[in-house]
Chains A and B, each alone.
Chain A
Amino acid sequence: MKLLKLTYLLIALVFFSCKNEPYEEIPTQAAGEYQNVPLSFEVPSNFPPLQYDIENNPPTETGFELGRRLFYEGRMASDNIVACGFCHIQEFAFTHHTHIVSHGVDGALGSRNAQPLQNLAFQNEFNWDGAAIHLDMQPIIPITNEVEMNESFTSIIAKLQAHPDYPRLFREAFENGEINSENILKALSQFMVMMVSSNSKYDKFRRNEGNVTLTANELQGMELFNQKCASCHAGELFTDQTYRNNGLAIDPQYNDIGRERVTGFPEDRYKFKVPNLRNVEVTFPYMHDGRFANLEAVLEHYRSGIQDTENVDESLRQTDGTLGIPMTDEEKARIIDFLKTLTDTDFIFDQRFSEF
């Protein structure tokens, strides 16, 4: 018996002795060892193609789980409290809505409204102004920004190394097992890439699933939305991913210049990313600074509130030169009926994404 064991050991030795490393441990699947169990990621049939280069960071069970832990981990912030999940709350499609603009460590006030986190793997740029061009890099901003988590990677790495669970979780999730900035960011991305919202009533209707139909009001709202809104809130993601000025009055408190901050081009002043509208029923307050409390106010803005500020989108100007999208009260109500079909309760109550 002993002999047999020894033989196996020797055979294994021969196998592993030809790697470049001086030696290599014989892998076991015990806790604390790298586990490569891939999670399946399917592009919903009514969605555009993926933008995230998933081959470079394929989500695995252990990578996703580590990402989930990190997302809800207060130690990622300087006060050990303000986790990603503090501002991105699942029931609100990962937005924050007790505050208009986000609150960070020590109650520091940001100047922008937290965006929903959903279908990020289909997006090419991130934040209201596109300040991140890759999902893996986006968390650098909230982590290091003094009004958000105000932390440094060096300090996070030290805190995670000293933690009873994280060294094991990193070994299970990554082949090199290291607690480093790349693995932290990759684990967060694996978690966020899996956050796909594609099971709203609207999606089921589009995919002809289980005889789901829209009511007459909702159908009429969809028709109106396609005429009046879909030029910007385009396609199945409800955004063409461009930056535009939809005519919000400039708030002198922040004077947020939007996209210009990233590009420096004056023609980008006051332009913001066209937001996706999935789960919009629960992502209030609305706009980059959370100025509108409800959808009625948003629709009224498009009808009567559009201001002629620098770079306002020309498509919002009617042929007679006045700004606004003409709508009757009735039409406004129908569009809101339609927007509510984008709510995906499967997503906002999906256990996989919740803290506990």
Chain B
Amino acid sequence: MKKIVYLFSLSLSILVLSCNSDADVIETSTVEITFDNRISANQNLTLGTTVYVNQNNESVVTNELKYIISNIQLTQDNGTIFEYPKADSYFVINEADLSSLTLNLDGIPVGNYTHISFGIGVDQSEYPLDGMLNFIPTAEEAQMIWNWAAGYIFIKFEGTFTPQGGTESPFVIHVGSHGQNLDNYKFVTLPLANTMNVNAGTTASVMVEAYIERIIDATNQIKLEDTNNIQVDPVNAPRIATNLESMFSAQ
């Protein structure tokens, strides 16, 4: 019996000694990212209600707004980039579902952060790596995946528009990547208006504003009267994807 006890304590001490990796463990904390979907910096969005006038003088009402955010990265003031684990880094932001608008990211190293980066859509050049196949059930529930092609829908923007003096008609914009030659995935890096200090024990937060008027009015202007149905559209889908690069701003 004594022998056993001896052996036990010996091994225990080996156990303890062999696990000194604790010494260089980095302290981490939680960051909360909230998406605020708005018409513009100074106009709020309420689905089905808010009317705004686009640059082609069309009055636009949004009925549905969803998009996929992926591959989140945070950059510290010393240039260190923290990449959130890719497999856990796919999210559907759905304006109609309040709980989808806030992302809670654990395990963020403490430090002072100056930039946030993320993908809009899913990086199909990485198929099928990085856990993107486990995003299927979530995307399926949010109807952000096609069932006639194997791919995610990066953004859905639907509603009605009324040209000046015209009548109200629906519009549908669904953009994703198609096949190997139409890659509409975009990756953006946004400076934070104020440095975000991530400290142990508290939750830091970032507010990302999305100005949805820019979906059709930014680098490229889309007149809904000319094209009110943009789905598998090799000309307009990439133009929208380019616009999405300037849709976000981080506070």
Contacts and interface: CB of A to CB of B under 8 A. Distances in A.
Interface in B120-152: 124, 127-129, 131, 133-134, 136-137, 140-141, 145, 147-151
Contacts of A144: 140, 145, 147
A159 to B, nearest CB: 13
A136 B8 contact: no
B145 A140 contact: yes
Contacts of A10: 7-8, 11
A6 B4 contact: yes
B234 A154 contact: no
B150 A263 contact: no
A203 B13 CA distance: 64
A214 interface: no
A265 B235 CA distance: 9
Given A126-B150, A134-B128, A141-B147, 11 more contacts: A3-B7, A17-B18, A56-B129, A130-B179, A131-B179, A134-B150, A141-B150, A154-B140, A262-B179, A263-B178, A264-B234
Interface residues of B, number: 37
Given A10-B7, A13-B15, A181 B147 contact: no
Contacts of A152: 137, 140-141
B147 A133 contact: no
Given A17-B15, A261-B148, A134 B127 contact: yes
A153 interface: yes
Interface of B: 3-4, 7-8, 11, 14-15, 18-19, 21, 124, 127-129, 131, 133-134, 136-137, 140-141, 145, 147-151, 178-182, 232-235, 237
A217 interface: no
Interface in A13-48: 13-14, 17-18
Contacts of A132: 149-150
A141 B149 contact: yes
A7 B7 contact: yes
A263 B181 contact: yes
27 contacts: A3-B7, A6-B4, A6-B7, A10-B11, A13-B11, A14-B18, A56-B129, A124-B180, A125-B179, A125-B180, A131-B149, A133-B151, A134-B150, A136-B128, A137-B133, A140-B147, A141-B148, A152-B137, A180-B134, A182-B131, A182-B133, A182-B134, A186-B133, A262-B149, A262-B178, A263-B182, A263-B232
Contacts of B133: 136-137, 181-182, 185-186
Contacts of A130: 179-180
A138 interface: yes
Contact of B136 (A124, A126, A134, A140): A140
B150 A131 contact: yes
A146 interface: yes
A173 B90 CA distance: 25
Q: How large is the interface on A (under 10, 10 to 19, 20 to 34, 35 or more residues)?
A: 35 or more
Nearest to B234: A264
A181 B131 CA distance: 9
A119 interface: no
Nearest to A148: B147
A220 interface: no
A126 B150 CA distance: 10
A352 to B, nearest CB: 24
Q: Across chains A and B, which 5 residue pairs bring their CB atoms closest together, nearest first?
A: A137-B150, A182-B133, A132-B150, A131-B149, A264-B234
B47 to A, nearest CB: 25
B14 A14 contact: yes
Nearest to B127: A134
A145 interface: yes
A276 to B, nearest CB: 19
A157 interface: yes
Contacts of A14: 11, 14-15, 18
Contact of A262 (B21, B128, B129, B232): B232
Contacts of B136: 140, 153, 181
A157 B137 CA distance: 9
B136 to A, nearest CB: 4
Contacts of B140: 144, 152-154
Interface string A229-266: 00000000000000000000000000000000111110
B81 to A, nearest CB: 21
Contacts of B134: 180-182
